[in-house]
Amino acid sequence: MTVVVNGEPHVAASPMSLADAVALLTAAPTGVAAAVNGEVVRRAEWTSTQLADGDEIEVLTAVQGG
Amino acid sequence: MDDPLLIAGESFNSRLIMGTGGMPSLDVLDRALVASGTELTTVAMRRVDPSAAGSVLDLLAARGIRALPNTAGCYTAAEAVRVAKLAREALGTNWIKLEVIADERTLLPDPVELLAAAEQLVANGFVVLPYTNDDPVLARRLEQAGCSAVMPLGSPIGSGLGIRNTHNIELIVESAGVPVILDAGIGTASDAAIAMELGCAAVLLATSVTRARDPELMAEAMRLGVAGGRLAYHAGRITRRRYAQASSPPTS
């Protein structure tokens, strides 16, 4: 299946969890948030959240700004 | 004098809220934040960059400075609410500096989207600190919507034009029941002092420090400007007079 992680298509073996997708980008234990198809998923639910083909995942953190 | 800033029941000794955008490096940012004496500093939410070196969050944590996430770059209420929810999850704070801008050229707040976003975020349990126009009516509406402060601009973001409409800022301060934080437009320390003399509870600034020739020195200047302006506000300025009034006794 293909999922889109921060705008980049990623071909992955199914099943893939949200935790797996986040781990592609960062191992930071805090300071990161993730959304699947626009819906925020709490960190505690990342491992149990299974991704489906075509899912769009956003992984955000705080940067300098404002 | 003991004169803490109170926002949503939280107390801060510093009345200078810093932004972090535009700093040449994390090291310069670190020194400037320390020099500013700030206890509350904004950060933006962006996609994770795996190649990024160092983290602004680690820096703030090491200095004991509270991170205030913002919704910079959002043009609609829906976008701003989504970013605020992501920020709450990422940083474990329900405080949000709400920014909903109208266009890239002016970066002025879109009042319609801003108020809608504020209402939704308050309903979702956020402590909302909105960046707003220097419009007393909009400020009142934001307060009525349940915002914990109102943050009118002095002039457009990054312009350094200072406070273009001191009269409106005074009107906002006069009727606000929540802290008024002058946000955006500060160019130099005297602008920050003027904001405080007008009765603002705090000043939020970034560009004037981050893009100064010497950010650390300007951060210190801002700390002193804010503190001096606050003292002057408490002390009470003299009435402006049309003609001179001798400060020395007459000679005979």
pLDDT of B237 > 90? The answer is: yes
pLDDT at A30: 86
Contact criterion met (CB < 8 Å) for B47 and A59: yes
SS3 of chain A: helix, strand, coil, percent, to 5: 15, 40, 45
- pLDDT digit string, tens, across residues B82-130: 999 999 999 999 999 999 999 999 999 999 999 999 999 999 999 999 9
At B175, list the tokens.
Answer: 């009727």
pLDDT of B240 > 80? The answer is: yes
At B99, list the tokens.
Answer: 């920014």
Q: Are strands B40-47 and A56-64 parallel, antiparallel or unpaired?
A: antiparallel
Strand, coil or helix: B45: strand
Which residues in chain A are closer than 8 Å to B22, comparing Cβ atoms?
64
* B85 catalytic residue (yes or no): no
d(CA B165, CA B101) in angstroms, rounded, equals 20
Average pLDDT over residues B168-183: 97
- pLDDT digit string, tens, across residues A49-60: 999 999 999 999
Partner-chain residue, chosen from A25, A31, A66, that has the shortest CB–CB distance to B90: A31
Which pTM value belongs to this model? 0.91
Which ipTM value was assigned to this complex?
0.90
pLDDT at A26: 86
Average pLDDT over residues B184-200: 97
Which residues in chain B are closer than 8 Å to A42, comparing Cβ atoms?
89
d(CA B98, CA B16) in angstroms, rounded, equals 18
pLDDT confidence tier of residue B227, bands split at 50, 70 and 90: very high
**Segments in chain A below pLDDT 50:** none
Find how far residue B75's CA is from the centre of its chain.
20
d(CA B39, CA B13) in angstroms, rounded, equals 8
- pLDDT digit string, tens, across residues B141-168: 999 999 999 999 999 999 999 999 999 9
Nearest to B18 by CA among B237, B212, B234: B212
Partner-chain residue, chosen from A35, A43, A65, that has the shortest CB–CB distance to B43: A65
Marked catalytic residue, from B15, B19, B42, B97: B97
pLDDT of B54 > 80? The answer is: no
Residue-wise burial string across A17-54, b where 16 or more C-beta atoms lie within 10 A, e elsewhere: ebebbbebbeeeeebbbbbbeeebbebeebeebebeee
At B242, list the tokens.
Answer: 């049309």
B145: left (phi over 0), alpha (psi -120 to 50) or beta: alpha
pLDDT at B126: 98
